[in-house]
Structure 1
Amino acid sequence: GLLFFMRSASPVVDTIELETEKVEGRGDHAAGFERDPDPPSAEEVSQLNEPTMEQSLQLVSEAISNVSSVLENVESAATSGDGKGDSRQAGPEGEGDKIVPRFERWDLRFQARDRKNYAAQLDFFKIELGVYGGASPSVEYASNVATQPIKRNGPSNTEKRLYFISVSEGVLKQYDKQLLQAAGINLANRTPMKFLPAETEKLLEQAEALYYRDKRGLPIRIADIAKTVFEVRTGKSGKGYEFVVVDQRYRNALKK
């Protein structure tokens, strides 16, 4: 298959100019049929057939979003009333294109020999681990996890980065927990998350577009993409790491 590479240690030479993704979202409005901020009635809710957040997370290996949008969705899902609800998809409120948002579209897969190797990958891409919830109103972060962990706190309402939540109780999720605990962070009733810096997000964006261009040609239509799968591998030189696009699935049939 076709592989496109990206490294955080060097710029992507072959780049594509992309427009800022504007994804429609209903924000804290209740799910519904029109553009009514009031929640729909119980009878109307039963017709929506929208999966709960828990069900949605089970559909993907990694769920990406920002903290504030997830909190808003959880809160609005518990309401009901006489309104028509908002027909836009879940996510931060705004008008935009009907594209699959990155927190659903991107699937990052890490492969590591052991916890030390996994921690080195996180540090290489400047990915912070963090937890939210429980008794603390803030997000607690851990960085530099491969050597001397650095712990810090930050308010959840200012966190705008994409993050990943490991759904399955696999080895990597256990590594996340162990690395957070090594930084002195309490995990009681809290889920580990991986926060991506803007630099890494831009590299993923370019790798996705380059792969699409080779598969489907120009122009790049992000709205066509249902899923892009990235995999972490050792760099070509044997040093560092790189994300490789290993698969891309589309919402529409490929047209020649």
Structure 2
Amino acid sequence: MPPATSAEIEPPPVADGDVQLLREARRAEREKLRTSRFDVVTSFFMALIWFIGTFVVLMFIIWLLSGDPRPMVLKPQIEEASGRGENAEGFERDFEPPGEEEVEELLEPTLEDTIEAVTDSVSSVAATLTSNDTQATATNVGTGMGDSRPPGPPGEGPYVVPRGERWQLNFTAKDIKSYAKQLDFFGIELAVMGGGTQGVDYAFNLAGKPKSRRLVDTSTEKRLYFMWTRPSPLQRFDQQLLMQAGVSLDGGRTQLRFIPPELEDLLYTIEMTHAFSKGRETVQEIAKTVFECKPGGDGFTFEVIDQRYRSPKP
């Protein structure tokens, strides 16, 4: 019998029921391979976790390599403020012409005046006041415009508000112990003067056992100091610390707080850094800076909580 050709080979017939089952099986397989909503959400959160983790690791490496942040350090500046000293307040800086009585003392006496003065002194005869032919005003009060510089020690520097008037230091403390720790951390000394007692009495080592010392020659004291301008609970803390150090407050003595030069330089740096961040360029533009002591670092630090400005005078 001859072999069958390809044209003669036919697949076995498939029933309609089997075709339907095959289609259902294929549809079920496709459903298994299709991405579900659960897979989408899970993939999103996994990618987000990987991204955040990588970002945190990079930031940690940057922080580890950069070290501790260092504040901007400014060169300490010696401010020579403009002050008129004991000169009279005024509008100009002109020379005040003397009055007539002052001209009498300034003029060179003539020979006749000298002989007359000698004669009067010998004969004890009162001499009359001879008027001089001058342009002086016949009054004891001059006609000058005074001194236009602001009050303060004599100086020819720029028009800068002195640090003692420009700065305000605020402290926050629940009790006298925490207040004393803040003062000791910055090396601030309490002091009193006046009240009929010569010199200045200081109190230091306030957080431990307060000690005292006296300075008789106050001309050697060059540190910046602050006074109380209005009543405060911290002022009573100052009084208690001074009394614990054995310093007498009798006679209405004035309370002071002396700050060391290192703290003065630090406050200046903090002040100018804040001013630069506000678009100010010179200290002449600053009218008032309010500092507040806050916990920070290894102890405490000062921050600027308020700063007011003015237009610098030419």
Partner of 2:234: 172
Instruction: Provide the aligned C-alpha RMSD in A.
Output: 2.4
Q: Contact 2:223/2:260 (CA < 8 Å) preserved in 1?
A: yes
Give the distance between the partners of 1:185 and 1:35, measured in 2 at CA: 45
Q: Which has the higher helix share?
A: 2
Contact 1:37 1:86 in 2 (8 A): no
Structure 1 residues 197, 212: closer, same or farther in 2, change over 3 A?
same
Q: CA distance change for structure 1 residues 123 and 102 in 2, over 3 Å: closer, same or farther?
A: same
1:223 aligns with 2:284: yes
Q: Structure 2: any 5+ residue segments left out of the alignment?
A: 1-67, 97-139
Structure with more strand by fraction = 1
- Say if 2:242 is the partner of 1:183: no
After TM superposition, the structure 1 = structure 2 runs for residues 12-91 of structure 1, keeping only pairs within 5 Å, are: 13-17=71-75, 19-35=77-93, 82-83=141-142, 84=144, 85-91=146-152
Q: Which runs of 4+ in 1 moved over 6 A?
A: none
Q: Please tell me whether Structure 1 or Structure 2 has the larger radius of gyration of its CA atoms.
A: 2
Superposed counterparts of 1:1-256, under 5 Å: 13-17=71-75, 19-35=77-93, 82-83=141-142, 84=144, 85-154=146-215, 155-188=217-250, 189-216=252-279, 220-236=281-297, 239-252=298-311
Q: For the residues of structure 2 that align with 1:19 and 1:196, how far apart are their CA atoms? A: 16
1:150-195 per-residue CA deviation (whole Å, 9 max, x = no partner) reads: 2111122222211111122220011111111111111121121100
CA contact 1:134–1:190 (8 Å) conserved in 2: yes
Q: Give me the whole-angstrom Cα distance separating, in 1, the residues matched to 2:288 and 2:235.
A: 22
- One-letter amino acid of the counterpart of residue 205, structure 1: Y
User: CA offsets per residue over residues 194-249 of structure 1, 9 Å max, x none?
Assistant: 001000000000000111111115xx31111111110000114xx41111111211
Q: Tell me the number of residue pairs that the alignment of Structure 1 and Structure 2 aligns.
A: 198
Is the 8 Å Cα contact of residues 12 and 203 (structure 1) preserved in structure 2?
no
Letter of the aligned partner of 1:20 in structure 2?
Answer: I
Q: Give TM-score scaled by structure 2 length.
A: 0.58
Residue pair 1:109, 1:230 contacting (<8 A) in 2 also: yes
User: What is the letter of the counterpart of residue 262 of structure 2?
Assistant: E
Bigger relative contact order, structure 1 or 2 (CA pairs below 8 A, ≥6 apart): 1
* Unaligned 5+ runs, structure 1: 1-9, 39-80
CA contact 1:29–1:37 (8 Å) conserved in 2? no
**Normalising to structure 1: TM-score of the pair?**
0.71
Amino acid at match of 2:248: N
